[in-house]
């Protein structure tokens, strides 16, 4: 059976629900990482399910001499990790936090680092894209 496209549009119901949930939390004054991360976690979990994959929060692993625990790991149907997610507080310096995580051994083969206002995608060891919250009709701009 063919797998559906890996891309979902900005108008997809999962994306709309993410924005709705995030806006509702912000309207209640929620600003910290733990309070704001659930909408993105739900988006990743629901998107993974569309492809027969699964999302696991806080899945720990060893990296060198450190134990790491990305906020989320997406596994394919064969239980191979396909992507990682690390959430940060929007008041943090995202670049500094990314550097700190990379130095601790966090994977950068297919990892999203985000703070609800900006997301940085690493693939094969380098940055391949950044997404910024904006006032555009779609809600985001891509660099």
Domains and CATH numbers, the chain: 13-142 (3.90.1570)
Q: Find, among 55, 77, 85, the residue nearest to 3 by Cα.
A: 77
pLDDT at residue 44, rounded to an integer: 94
Regions in the chain scoring below 50 on pLDDT: 1-2, 135-137, 141-143
Pairwise CA distance, residues 62 & 47, whole Å: 26
pLDDT at residue 10, rounded to an integer: 82
What's the predicted TM-score (pTM) here?
0.84
Q: Are 40 and 116 in contact (CB under 8 A)?
A: yes
Pairwise CA distance, residues 9 & 11, whole Å: 5
pLDDT at residue 6, rounded to an integer: 61
Pairwise CA distance, residues 86 & 25, whole Å: 19
pLDDT at residue 139, rounded to an integer: 52
């Amino acid at each position: 059976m063919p797998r559906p496209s890996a891309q979902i549009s900005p108008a997809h119901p999962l994306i709309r629900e993410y924005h709705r949930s995030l806006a509702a939390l912000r309207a209640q004054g929620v600003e910290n990482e733990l309070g704001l991360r659930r909408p993105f976690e739900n988006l990743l979990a629901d998107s993974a399910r569309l492809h027969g994959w699964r999302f696991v929060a806080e899945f720990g692993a060893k990296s060198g001499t450190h134990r790491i625990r990305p906020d989320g790991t997406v596994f394919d149907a064969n239980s191979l990790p396909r992507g990682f997610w690390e959430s940060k507080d929007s008041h943090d310096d995202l670049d500094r936090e990314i550097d700190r995580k990379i130095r601790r051994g966090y994977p950068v083969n297919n990892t999203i680092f985000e703070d609800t206002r900006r997301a940085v995608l690493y693939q094969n060891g380098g940055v391949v894209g950044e997404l910024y919250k904006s006032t555009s009709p779609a809600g985001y701009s891509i660099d």
